[in-house]
Amino acid sequence: MRAAVVTTFGGPEAVRVVQTEVPEPAARQVRIKVAAAALNPVDAGMRAGVFGGEGKQVGLGWDVAGTVDAVGAASAWNVGDEVVALHPGVAEKPLGSHAEYVVVGTDAVALAPRTVGVVAAATLPLNALAAVQALDLLELAPGQSLLVTGAAGAVGGYAVQLAVRRGVSVAALARAGDEEFVRSLGASHFAVGGAEAGAFDAVLDAAILGETALAWVRDGGAFVGVIPKAHPASVRGVRTTAVEVQADGVRLAELVGLVDEGALTLRVAETYALDEASKAHARLAEGGVRGRIVLVP
């Protein structure tokens, strides 16, 4: 089968599509024939060596939508099931979802949305799980205030919609041209350049502004970043942490349900063939992408 990998770290040109053996599922694993797989900033980080792995072949891709085509022992899934899944983790990852087939744990899988196609479905797992798990860390009650930075991005957009469903008062920080979009997600307030110091009960920092965004949290509030172990230190009694996305098929199934209800907005920016993976990385590096780039084997 074909798979997108890096063997030396660098820019988009470091991405190679190689021929490799089709992986076999072990106990409590399933193999998915990939129909579509989203390209995320974390893949660019893996390509550049941010997560290590020097001298090894590193597979790319976390999100996947496709069809179960083989199951290991003790699997609750059946061949032919149409699914979405998160291929988790950056360690011990010889192959990712940017391939013709991928093996994942049975508990990372959920039935695919019924109301959208596979390309759109592939944009859901990583970013939506990041958003909902970040909101869980914030522990906000209905009526409390939240500022989402990078609210027009993939994680930020999901966070706005999910927080509004929890009864949280959401303000969105994004570029001026994105105001109509983020308000359509449910944000009640919009900001471009920043916010008043201490104005919010919490900040979800999807734009990775760090200490700048921390200043917008009230004393004793909460701050969650999206890069593990890279959040700012606590000040003024503000609890600070960062989300480390975990595969969770049960939670993913709940998010799929919200997609089918029309409560979560999936956005596809562009699609590329798997063989054009390096071009897709180059497009991501250019910036200005609204929605996710998706690779199709």
Task: Please check whether residue 257 lies inside any domain of the structure.
Answer: no
Structure tokens at 257: 């349900």
Instruction: Indicate if 168 and 193 belong to the same structural domain.
Output: yes
Q: What is the pLDDT of residue 118?
A: 98
Instruction: Indicate if 83 and 15 belong to the same structural domain.
Output: yes
Instruction: Indicate if 39 and 135 belong to the same structural domain.
Output: no
Instruction: Indicate if 101 and 15 belong to the same structural domain.
Output: yes
Instruction: Indicate if 131 and 230 belong to the same structural domain.
Output: yes
Instruction: Indicate if 10 and 102 belong to the same structural domain.
Output: yes
Q: What is the pLDDT of residue 171?
A: 98
Instruction: Indicate if 69 and 18 belong to the same structural domain.
Output: yes
Instruction: Indicate if 74 and 182 belong to the same structural domain.
Output: no
Instruction: Indicate if 115 and 159 belong to the same structural domain.
Output: no
For Cα atoms 125, 127, 132, give the angle at the middle one, nearest 5 degrees: 90
Task: Please check whether residue 250 lies inside any domain of the structure.
Answer: no
Task: Please check whether residue 248 lies inside any domain of the structure.
Answer: no
Q: What is the pLDDT of residue 26?
A: 94
Helix, strand or coil for residue 283? helix
Structure tokens at 73: 């022992």
Instruction: Indicate if 74 and 18 belong to the same structural domain.
Output: yes
The domain that holds 176 is classified in CATH as 3.40.50.720
Q: What is the pLDDT of residue 83?
A: 98
- Is the distance from CB of 1 to CB of 20 less than 8 angstroms? yes
Task: Please check whether residue 252 lies inside any domain of the structure.
Answer: no
Instruction: Indicate if 58 and 33 belong to the same structural domain.
Output: yes
Which residues lie closer than 8 Å to 50 by C-beta, 6 or more apart?
Answer: none
State the total domains in the chain. 2
Q: Kindly tell me the burial class for residue 158, based on how many C-beta atoms sit within 10 Å of its own C-beta (0-12, 13-18, 19 or more).
A: buried
Instruction: Indicate if 185 and 132 belong to the same structural domain.
Output: yes
The domain that holds 102 is classified in CATH as 3.90.180.10
Q: What is the pLDDT of residue 89?
A: 60
Half-sphere exposure of 144 (CA within 13 A, CB side): 17
Task: Please check whether residue 260 lies inside any domain of the structure.
Answer: no
How much is the pTM?
0.96
Task: Please check whether residue 256 lies inside any domain of the structure.
Answer: no
Task: Please check whether residue 93 lies inside any domain of the structure.
Answer: yes
Q: pLDDT tens digits, the chain, 297 residues: what are they?
A: 999 999 899 999 999 999 999 999 999 999 999 999 999 999 999 999 887 777 788 899 999 999 999 999 999 899 999 999 999 765 445 789 999 999 999 999 999 999 999 999 999 999 999 999 999 999 999 999 999 999 999 999 999 999 999 999 999 999 999 999 999 999 999 999 889 999 999 999 999 999 999 999 999 999 999 998 889 999 999 999 999 999 999 999 999 999 999 999 999 999 999 999 999 999 999 988 889 999 999
Q: What is the pLDDT of residue 121?
A: 98
Please give the full DSSP string across 128-194, using - where no structure is assigned. HHHHHHHHHHHTPPTT-EEEEETTTSHHHHHHHHHHHHTT-EEEEE--GGGHHHHHHTT-SEEESS-
Question: Domain residues for 92?
Answer: 2-124+266-296
Task: Please check whether residue 186 lies inside any domain of the structure.
Answer: yes
Q: What is the pLDDT of residue 93?
A: 59
The Cα–Cα gap between 204 and 224 comes to 5
